[in-house]
A and B are shown apart, each in its own frame.
Chain A
Amino acid sequence: MGSRGLILLSAILACFPLSSLADAIVEGRVQLPEARAAPVMAKRYEIVTTGNVLKTEPPLAVVYLEGSFPKPNPSITKQIGQKDLTFIPALLPVRVGTKIEFPNFDDTYHSVFSYSPAKRFDLGRYRPDERPIPSKVFDTPGLVTLRCDIHEHMRGLILVLDTPYFVITDKEGRFRLSGLPSGHYLLKAWIDSKTTRKQPVDLKDGATAHVDFP
């Protein structure tokens, strides 16, 4: 237990070097595109393609801080389930090196695959009781589109980022990132597969920077 705690601590220390360890905050609002239609389900998001552009519906943005940060802990594992013939969550930002599991919660086969340059994979057909849960490690930054070869409407997005500081906005586009290192950075807002906005930001320890993406 003690040795494991030490290893964990050293890992955390490795992630947050002392020089930049700080508690800067950035918050603001991303101007989101108009929703295509009133959302049918409050918590449900889907990935739509319009003019070859993938985005969430209703619109959401991922705000992240770009910069050179220490290598991540490789043991981070996340899940994107397939439930009710949708990917849940529909949009998942992850840090490079994250392992994502794709559990099948439906009573049918799914066949998750991606042709995205950031990660090409094909998990093949599998049932809910497939063990181990099919998974992939995403080690290249970029957008990965998840599809199911059986259910053509199913889409999921994984935004693989080379940063540990990212957050999904709320429906109004509001965001808040805390525990950021001080310094001069670029704050980016991913809105859809073709649109990423950026704003320079100066972060000071203990201060809250306000950045809006018009």
Chain B
Amino acid sequence: MTVSSGPTSGTVTSFRTKLLLAMMLVVSGLTLLGVYLAQRNVAITTQRNLRQSFEAELSWLHRLQQLRNAALQERCRGLAAKPRIHAALEDNALDLLYPSAKDELADLMQTEQQPAEEAAGSLHARFYRFLNVDGIVLPPPNPKEVGELAPDDEKRLALKELPDRQQTAYLTEKGTAMPPVVDEVIFVPIFSSETNEIIAALVVGFRPFELTGVHVRAGMKSGILIEGALHLALVSTAARKTLGEEVTQAIASGDRTKGSFTVTVNDDTQLLFYERLNANSLLASAYQVCIYPLTESIARQRRLSWQIGGAGALLLLGGFMASRFLAMRLAQPVEQLALDSEENRAQRQRVEAVLESTSEELERTARYSADASHQLKSPVTVLRTGIESLLAREDFHPNVYEELSALLHQTRRFTSVIDDLLLLSRMDAGHLKIDSQPVNLVQLIEEWLEDLAALPEAFEVAVEKEFPKSLFIAGEKRYTSLIVQNLLENARKYNRPGGHIRVLAQQQNGEVMLRIGNTGRAIALSAQEHIFERFYHNSETSVAGHGLGLNLARELARLHGGDLKLVRSKNDWTEFEVCFHVANAVPVTTD
């Protein structure tokens, strides 16, 4: 590519740079957007997966709980149906209550051989107690058979009022060592099979189901929040306390049933879920709390963002090269365009300058001729008046009168030349405006023919007339009259003795055509193309003329929207044709 001039080169370079910048901006924007969207997608997917995992765990837990609760309920219904239980409760034989229930509840309790690990999550109870109708815990005669509890913890099982439906509560055993053992305690009312009254309640304590085993993702920890205290194994006391406070706050301020949030403890970001365990319980609410470490997920996100970032950088580089190439390609026609437009502008400026100078010149010329005409008119008038006054004297020699008459004729001719010049200069300057009115062309012709006939001339010519009674054209009368006068005068002036003039006027196709032909010597072929030029005078003719008439007549005809042209000039016949527009409206009266 060739760059010819300085400014053009600068413009093109700037255009190319801008294009490049814009394209790079777009590519960077798209890359950043891609990174952002991908990261968000990963984060959302991770959270959704973890949430689904948590919900799966919980639903598994709930199913187990339901199973256990249904089994318990059935067990209690069976117990209530037992006369011995009724007897023990109603006949003041509480010492016989536990022995009476022992057989019924024997399989409820875990066997001593059962390892503790298996007991967790099993359907076996850790302990059971009966509450009497007043909600007081009935002491078992042999605690070993019904699961041992510290006396303080046993007292905490008491209720103010027995519930009329199964309730689940969570109990932290204070009597045991740290970390405290958490029991899932189920209160089952025992209804009298006879009167349907609540006669007692069975309280069964289980180890809470732990979210362990195949359901648990690596790193997930689950625990239970009871009265603001979180029981979560494998977490330090401080972290447990912080987490407990966080969850309590979240429950207090947000959803009381379930929720999730991200929490950072000991620089580990974790996703925490909580959901109420005993949703329909009248007792103190407890929440299952699960924490999932997000460290891996965050690392994965970071890795991914590096990958996407790298890809973005590559894309950026590719984009940079592509945009550079594209910018060059796109800039090429623009550069050509810039060059062309530069040339065009220079040309236009040149043409404008020429036009301006021409117009100035024209104006100056027109002004000059107008000024000249005006300046000439007054002395000519003075001259003519002087000659006329001299002619009026009677004391001169007759030769002098002849001389004076010739002079007067010359001054008249002079005046007419000045008038023509003045008109032409006005036309040239564009100052002449046509006040278009309907003009009766036939009347004009008739008037001028009469004037011509009245002229004292050397020879007579016959006039042949072919026109209708009236023909109205659009124009200004004084100027159309000038055209007709010019043509008729010429027809007479350049005629030969015994010749004739033919005047033909007719309307055709919205135009009025006037043809004036005369006999006489034809215009030389070489002169024919110059006769309409200003001040052109055919040297071959002997007839006097100042060379302005035809030029003026044609200019005026064109000003009227028509034209004047030489039809033919040979074989003793010269004929001119002038066209006018037909008048739109014809006056009613003509004179």
> Do B96 and A52 touch (CB < 8 A)?
no
B148 interface residue (CB < 8 Å to A): no
> Do A152 and B197 touch (CB < 8 A)?
no
Q: Which of B86-104 contact A (CB under 8 A)?
A: 86-93, 96
A20 interface residue (CB < 8 Å to B): no
> Do B195 and A48 touch (CB < 8 A)?
yes
Q: Which of A52-66 contact B (CB under 8 A)?
A: 52, 54
- Sample of 18 further A-B pairs with CB below 8 A, known A48-B194, A49-B86: A49-B90, A49-B192, A50-B195, A51-B197, A52-B133, A52-B199, A114-B87, A114-B91, A115-B84, A115-B88, A116-B92, A117-B92, A145-B91, A147-B84, A147-B87, A152-B81, A152-B86, A154-B83
Cβ proximity bits A103-115 to B, threshold 8 Å, 1 near / 0 not = 0000000000111
CB closest residue in chain A, given B84: A149
Q: A148 contacts which chain B residues (CB < 8 A)?
A: 83
With contacts A52-B199, A115-B84, A145-B87 taken as known, whether A153 is within 8 angstroms of B194 at the C-beta atoms is yes
> Do A116 and B93 touch (CB < 8 A)?
yes
> Do A152 and B90 touch (CB < 8 A)?
no
Cβ proximity bits A96-133 to B, threshold 8 Å, 1 near / 0 not = 00000000000000000111110010000000000000
> Do B199 and A113 touch (CB < 8 A)?
no
Q: How far is the CA of A152 from the CA of B588 in the complex (A)?
A: 138
Write the nearest CB–CB distance from A198 to chain B, whole angstroms: 21
Write the nearest CB–CB distance from A71 to chain B, whole angstroms: 27
Q: A149 contacts which chain B residues (CB < 8 A)?
A: 83-84
Q: B81 contacts which chain A residues (CB < 8 A)?
A: 152
Q: Which residues of A are at the interface with B, using a C-beta cutoff of 8 A?
A: 48-52, 54, 113-117, 120, 145, 147-149, 151-154
> Do B192 and A115 touch (CB < 8 A)?
no
> Do A145 and B90 touch (CB < 8 A)?
yes
> Do A54 and B84 touch (CB < 8 A)?
no
B193 interface residue (CB < 8 Å to A): yes
Cβ proximity bits B193-209 to A, threshold 8 Å, 1 near / 0 not = 11101010000000000
Cβ proximity bits B66-86 to A, threshold 8 Å, 1 near / 0 not = 000000000000000111101
Write the nearest CB–CB distance from A12 to chain B, whole angstroms: 36
Q: B93 contacts which chain A residues (CB < 8 A)?
A: 115-117, 120
Interface size on B, residues (CB 8 A): 20
Write the nearest CB–CB distance from A132 to chain B, whole angstroms: 24
Q: A117 contacts which chain B residues (CB < 8 A)?
A: 91-93
Q: Kindly name the residue among B193, B194, B199 whose own CB sees the greatest number of chain A CB atoms within 10 A.
A: B194
Write the nearest CB–CB distance from A185 to chain B, whole angstroms: 28
7 contacts between A and B (CB under 8 A): A48-B195, A49-B90, A50-B195, A50-B197, A52-B199, A115-B84, A153-B193
Q: Which of B101-142 contact A (CB under 8 A)?
A: 133
With contacts A113-B87, A116-B93 taken as known, whether A49 is within 8 angstroms of B195 at the C-beta atoms is yes
Q: A52 contacts which chain B residues (CB < 8 A)?
A: 89-90, 133, 199
Number of A-B contacts (CB under 8 A): 53
> Do A54 and B195 touch (CB < 8 A)?
no
With contacts A49-B192, A49-B195, A52-B199 taken as known, whether A113 is within 8 angstroms of B90 at the C-beta atoms is no
Q: Kindly name the residue among A117, A151, A154 whose own CB sees the greatest number of chain B CB atoms within 10 A.
A: A117
With contacts A49-B192, A147-B83, A152-B81 taken as known, whether A116 is within 8 angstroms of B197 at the C-beta atoms is no
Cβ proximity bits B335-379 to A, threshold 8 Å, 1 near / 0 not = 000000000000000000000000000000000000000000000
Q: B92 contacts which chain A residues (CB < 8 A)?
A: 116-117
> Do A113 and B84 touch (CB < 8 A)?
yes
Q: Kindly name the residue among A51, A54, A115, A117 whose own CB sees the greatest number of chain B CB atoms within 10 A.
A: A115
Q: How far is the CA of A51 from the CA of B198 in the complex (A)?
A: 9
Q: How far is the CA of A151 from the CA of B81 in the complex (A)?
A: 9
Write the nearest CB–CB distance from B582 to chain A, whole angstroms: 129
> Do A152 and B195 touch (CB < 8 A)?
no
CB closest residue in chain A, given B93: A115
The 3 closest A-B pairs by CB, nearest first: A115-B93, A115-B87, A147-B83
Q: B91 contacts which chain A residues (CB < 8 A)?
A: 114-117, 145
Q: A48 contacts which chain B residues (CB < 8 A)?
A: 194-195
Q: How far is the CA of A48 from the CA of B86 in the complex (A)?
A: 12
Q: How far is the CA of A116 from the CA of B87 in the complex (A)?
A: 8
Q: How far is the CA of A50 from the CA of B90 in the complex (A)?
A: 10
Q: B199 contacts which chain A residues (CB < 8 A)?
A: 52
Q: How far is the CA of A117 from the CA of B92 in the complex (A)?
A: 7
Write the nearest CB–CB distance from A195 to chain B, whole angstroms: 15
Write the nearest CB–CB distance from A96 to chain B, whole angstroms: 19
> Do A49 and B194 touch (CB < 8 A)?
yes
Q: Which of A49, A116, A152 contacts B82 (CB 8 A)?
A: A152
Q: How far is the CA of A120 from the CA of B95 in the complex (A)?
A: 12
Q: How far is the CA of A79 from the CA of B193 in the complex (A)?
A: 28
With contacts A145-B91, A149-B83, A152-B81 taken as known, whether A115 is within 8 angstroms of B96 at the C-beta atoms is yes
Q: How far is the CA of A152 from the CA of B81 in the complex (A)?
A: 7
Q: B84 contacts which chain A residues (CB < 8 A)?
A: 113, 115, 147, 149
Q: How far is the CA of A106 from the CA of B92 in the complex (A)?
A: 29
Q: A49 contacts which chain B residues (CB < 8 A)?
A: 86, 90, 192, 194-195
Q: How far is the CA of A113 from the CA of B82 in the complex (A)?
A: 13
> Do B192 and A152 touch (CB < 8 A)?
no
CB closest residue in chain A, given B199: A52
Q: How far is the CA of A114 from the CA of B195 in the complex (A)?
A: 20
Write the nearest CB–CB distance from A54 to chain B, whole angstroms: 7
Q: How far is the CA of A153 from the CA of B92 in the complex (A)?
A: 18
Q: How far is the CA of A209 from the CA of B112 in the complex (A)?
A: 68
With contacts A115-B93, A116-B93 taken as known, whether A147 is within 8 angstroms of B86 at the C-beta atoms is yes
Q: How far is the CA of A145 from the CA of B91 in the complex (A)?
A: 7
Write the nearest CB–CB distance from A27 to chain B, whole angstroms: 33
> Do A152 and B83 touch (CB < 8 A)?
yes
Write the nearest CB–CB distance from B306 to chain A, whole angstroms: 74
Q: A113 contacts which chain B residues (CB < 8 A)?
A: 83-84, 87
CB closest residue in chain A, given B132: A52
Q: B133 contacts which chain A residues (CB < 8 A)?
A: 52
Q: B90 contacts which chain A residues (CB < 8 A)?
A: 49, 52, 54, 145
Q: How far is the CA of A54 from the CA of B87 in the complex (A)?
A: 11
Q: Which of B88, B89, B96, B193 contacts A152 (CB 8 A)?
A: B193
Q: How far is the CA of A51 from the CA of B192 in the complex (A)?
A: 10
Write the nearest CB–CB distance from B66 to chain A, whole angstroms: 28
Write the nearest CB–CB distance from A112 to chain B, whole angstroms: 10
Q: How far is the CA of A54 from the CA of B91 in the complex (A)?
A: 9
Write the nearest CB–CB distance from B583 to chain A, whole angstroms: 129
CB closest residue in chain B, given A154: B83
Q: A114 contacts which chain B residues (CB < 8 A)?
A: 87, 91
CB closest residue in chain A, given B200: A52
Q: How far is the CA of A115 from the CA of B92 in the complex (A)?
A: 8
Write the nearest CB–CB distance from A144 to chain B, whole angstroms: 9
Q: How far is the CA of A51 from the CA of B197 in the complex (A)?
A: 7
Q: B192 contacts which chain A residues (CB < 8 A)?
A: 49
Q: Kindly name the residue among B88, B90, B96 whose own CB sees the greatest number of chain A CB atoms within 10 A.
A: B90
